[in-house]
Structure 1
Amino acid sequence: MDSCQTLLQGILSRTGIRSHDTQRTASYIKEKIRENLPSERTINLFHCLNELNDTSLVEEVQRYLRLGRISTESLSPAQWSALVFVLFSDCGVTDTGCASLASALWSNPSHLRELDLSNNNTGDSGVIQLSARVKRFSLSLYRLSGCRVTDIGCAILAPALWSNPSHLRELDLSGNNTGDSGVIQLSAVLEDPKCQLQTLRLSGCRVTDIGCAILASALRSNPSHLRELDLSDNNTGDSGVIELSDVLEDPKCQLQKLRLSGCRVTDTGCASLASALWSNPSHLRELDLSGNNTGDSGVIQLSAVLKDPKCQLQKLRLSDCRVTDTGCASLASALRSNPSHLRELDLSYNNTGDSGVIQLSAVLEDPKCQLQTLRLVVNIFLTALSCLSRAERVKSFSPSFYRMSGCRVTDTGCASLASALRSNPSHLRELDLSDNNTGDSGVIQLSAVLEDPKSLQTYNGPMAPIPTSSTPHTVCLVRGE
């Protein structure tokens, strides 16, 4: 779908299409929508209409929602598809719209599988309206992020889910004021062995260590289903992480993704997580600790786990964690011991310096190294020395994404990068050199590489003339210094 939208945007921008042509195209799409096509194809056509700035059918449905006049009899098949499209948008639906929607879905509940009302003003009242009907639905996905839901809404939602626990796979309540009280209500559902929930998102919900303790207790009772837990931007602290770590130690725990960014975690919390992963290293695939005060001490704790060949961690995010070259050295040592699993490492916004980057660059020489994404954006005191070191590693390293934004790269670094890319042009797909001091000389060096049809697909860097010969690559240029 994204590729279709991109193609349509490209056609509109490149051909300078006129307004009457746009209207004719929109009319044709509307005719196709009225042909009663499969719903997925119809929704894709609504995306195309949206790109053409034609929202007439969507506005009809929004009007029904606001007036509370929606019913199975009043909507055509095209309008039903428009309703689905609206529900995946930020469209100002309130509790009145929820009441009308609940009434309509009550008449025909058997086909609805996904309901997304994110970023609407539904409030607890809207949740109450819908929860009365959830018992009849076979929902697998339910998103209410940013809907002003409180613990009251959670108290109503929990019994509804309890009465029909075997279908729901994903619940997103991020950005609501549920607090610990709301988490307590939901945890009662998680304890039910019949609950099949695999993804629970509670980021920015004002959850503390108390809520974490309740969640942990629920997961101990029913550890085998949940695969993804997002508690980012909550005040869990080390105490909350310790509670969750106790669950991770259980071999029955199947959690694969744990997001704790911005949760006030320190090296104490890292030590607890590391201990849990030592006990049960084979399940967790993604760990996000960005925006915490882990420091080098916390990274050293985690690095000890990464050395274990049984550790299956594929993504580790430590952005803005006060990591220095000491932490980088520990990570590099771990990756040398176990180079085959980690695919993504994010160390953006840390004080790694040249020494830290050089430590990591040495690991990239190992043919067994499977790292595909390395993020070192806006690291302090990153100079041409480390950039040159990293550039040389590209000859033996096969990442798909390479970002050096804001790293003080000059034309010297560009020359070395260009040389490395000429030696091994077929793997790197995206290069970001925005906000560097490359100058004209550096741009000229890289422009020669862009002419190679085996080279980059996406380049973010300083402005430069685009070669006139046609190539299949997408070149995105961001003005540098």
Structure 2
Amino acid sequence: MAPVTEVSLHLKDAPDLKHASFCLKHCENLRGKGRVPGQRQCVKVRGSGCQAVSCSDTTQQWADFSLALEANRSLKCLDLTASELLDESARMLCTTLRHPKCFLEKLLENCRLTEACCKELSSALIVNQRLTHLCLANSNLGDGGVKLLCEGLSHPDCQLQNLVLSHSNITRRGCRRLSKLLQEDSSLTNLDLGLNPIATGSWYLCEALQKTNCNLRCLGHSEGLEKSARIADGLQQSGLQGDTASAGIQ
């Protein structure tokens, strides 16, 4: 196949996802970046120039797509924003992340994942040491999902640096888990917890921020003025950056 440097696929039906899989499998020299205007259910593969938009989510199609991801060694960023992945499809993606030929560095999954996928994702965070950026915004992970993710994040082989958990139904219990993680010399340097009902969970975050072994450099949050002041005090004492308007980590 002749060298291809950039391709944009606008998929309108289920069979088109197969075309995207073929593209990923055989276009090994993709470069550049681009976006496809948002659709409600879509998959965007970007960062290496190849984009795919799908209006379906069947097991076999995602199985083919996952295999194609393994074959493409130039792809660095996978954007699944606005998709609604089934749990089984998400598990397939995690299997791909654990594959030694997966070269993804950024995974953006604003696609309403649930706690059911977090155990496999946690395992992938340990195995895939290339992955440094993970966005799970607008999901229904809850505190249970955070607990499972922390198992992987606390592993010494995990190299994740940027984690976005905004609008993921996380409460003070989840914050307590994250606080413990941040005090264990975690690789995380950027954390976004905006638009979560953390309530008094801000106390746990402040506790972690004041520890000398906390590597966090940027905290995104969205709280009331009083709670924001508490977090700001913790940020000031630890020399970190924060945003009371919930800074998204791009």
TM-score normalized by structure 2? 0.81
Q: 2:30 aligns with which of 197, 200, 215?
A: 197
**1:247 corresponds to:** 96
Q: Residues 240 and 348 (structure 1 numbering): CA distance in 2 closer, same or farther, change over 3 Å? A: same
Give the secondary structure class of the aligned counterpart of 1:258: strand
Q: Residues 282 and 405 (structure 1 numbering): CA distance in 2 closer, same or farther, change over 3 Å? A: closer
Q: Residues 405 and 286 (structure 1 numbering): CA distance in 2 closer, same or farther, change over 3 Å? A: closer
**2:235 corresponds to:** 394
Deviation at residue 311 of structure 1 after TM alignment: 1.2
Conserved 8 A contact 2:16-2:54: no
**2:16 corresponds to:** 182
**1:218 corresponds to:** 68
Q: Determine whether 1:374 maps to 2:224.
A: no
List aligned pairs for 1:300-319, cutoff 5 A: 300-319=147-166
Give the secondary structure class of the aligned counterpart of 1:394: helix
State the distance in 2 between where 1:306 and 1:196 align.
32
**2:107 corresponds to:** 258
Match of 1:256, as an amino acid?
A: E
Q: Tell me how large the CA RMSD over aligned residues is.
A: 2.5
Q: 2:116 aligns with which of 238, 243, 268?
A: 268
Give CA deviations for 1:249-308 in whole Å, capped at 9, x if unaligned.
1123111101110x2310011222112223x14111111111111111111111111111
Deviation at residue 171 of structure 1 after TM alignment: 4.5
Deviation at residue 203 of structure 1 after TM alignment: 7.3
Deviation at residue 226 of structure 1 after TM alignment: 1.8
Q: Residues 196 and 204 (structure 1 numbering): CA distance in 2 closer, same or farther, change over 3 Å? A: closer
State the distance in 1 between where 2:90 and 2:80 align.
10
Match of 2:2, as an amino acid?
A: N
Q: Residues 314 and 178 (structure 1 numbering): CA distance in 2 closer, same or farther, change over 3 Å? A: farther
State the distance in 2 between where 1:209 and 1:342 align.
34
Flag structure 2 segments of 5+ consecutive residues without an equivalent. Answer: 34-44
Give CA deviations for 1:65-122 in whole Å, capped at 9, x if unaligned.
xxxxxxxxxxxxxxxxxxxxxxxxxxxxxxxxxxxxxxxxxxxxxxxxxxxxxxxxxx
Look at both structures and tell me which one has the larger radius of gyration over its CA atoms: 1
Q: Determine whether 1:322 maps to 2:172.
A: no
Deviation at residue 373 of structure 1 after TM alignment: 2.1
State the distance in 2 between where 1:344 and 1:183 align.
33
Give CA deviations for 1:153-182 in whole Å, capped at 9, x if unaligned.
xxxxxxxxxx323x52x5455xx4444322
Q: 1:290 aligns with which of 134, 137, 140?
A: 137
Give CA deviations for 1:188-219 in whole Å, capped at 9, x if unaligned.
13223x61336723576424244432210212
Q: Residues 178 and 285 (structure 1 numbering): CA distance in 2 closer, same or farther, change over 3 Å? A: farther
Give the secondary structure class of the aligned counterpart of 1:213: helix
**Which structure features the higher share of helix residues?**
1
Give the secondary structure class of the aligned counterpart of 2:138: coil
State the distance in 2 between where 1:223 and 1:277 align.
20
Q: Residues 234 and 277 (structure 1 numbering): CA distance in 2 closer, same or farther, change over 3 Å? A: same
Q: 2:208 aligns with which of 363, 366, 390?
A: 363
Deviation at residue 229 of structure 1 after TM alignment: 0.7
Conserved 8 A contact 1:318-1:346: yes
State the distance in 2 between where 1:224 and 1:204 align.
20
Q: Residues 253 and 353 (structure 1 numbering): CA distance in 2 closer, same or farther, change over 3 Å? A: same
The percent of aligned pairs where both chains have the same amino acid is 29
Deviation at residue 322 of structure 1 after TM alignment: 0.5
Q: Determine whether 1:346 maps to 2:192.
A: yes
State the distance in 2 between where 1:394 and 1:235 align.
35
Q: Residues 238 and 254 (structure 1 numbering): CA distance in 2 closer, same or farther, change over 3 Å? A: same
Q: Determine whether 1:237 maps to 2:86.
A: yes
Deviation at residue 364 of structure 1 after TM alignment: 0.9
Q: Residues 178 and 259 (structure 1 numbering): CA distance in 2 closer, same or farther, change over 3 Å? A: farther
Give CA deviations for 1:288-334 in whole Å, capped at 9, x if unaligned.
11111111111111111111122111111111110001111111111
Deviation at residue 353 of structure 1 after TM alignment: 0.6
Flag structure 1 segments of 5+ consecutive residues without an equivalent. Answer: 1-162, 407-429, 431-481
Conserved 8 A contact 1:227-1:257: yes
State the distance in 2 between where 1:286 and 1:403 align.
19
Give the secondary structure class of the aligned counterpart of 1:316: strand
Q: Residues 164 and 398 (structure 1 numbering): CA distance in 2 closer, same or farther, change over 3 Å? A: farther
**1:403 corresponds to:** 243
Match of 2:230, as an amino acid?
A: S
State the distance in 1 between where 2:175 and 2:198 align.
7
State the distance in 2 between where 1:289 and 1:207 align.
20
Conserved 8 A contact 2:136-2:164: yes
- Which has the higher relative contact order, 1 or 2, with Cα contacts under 8 A spaced 6 or more apart? 2
Conserved 8 A contact 1:367-1:396: no
Aligned length: 230
Q: Residues 394 and 207 (structure 1 numbering): CA distance in 2 closer, same or farther, change over 3 Å? A: same
State the distance in 2 between where 1:353 and 1:383 align.
12
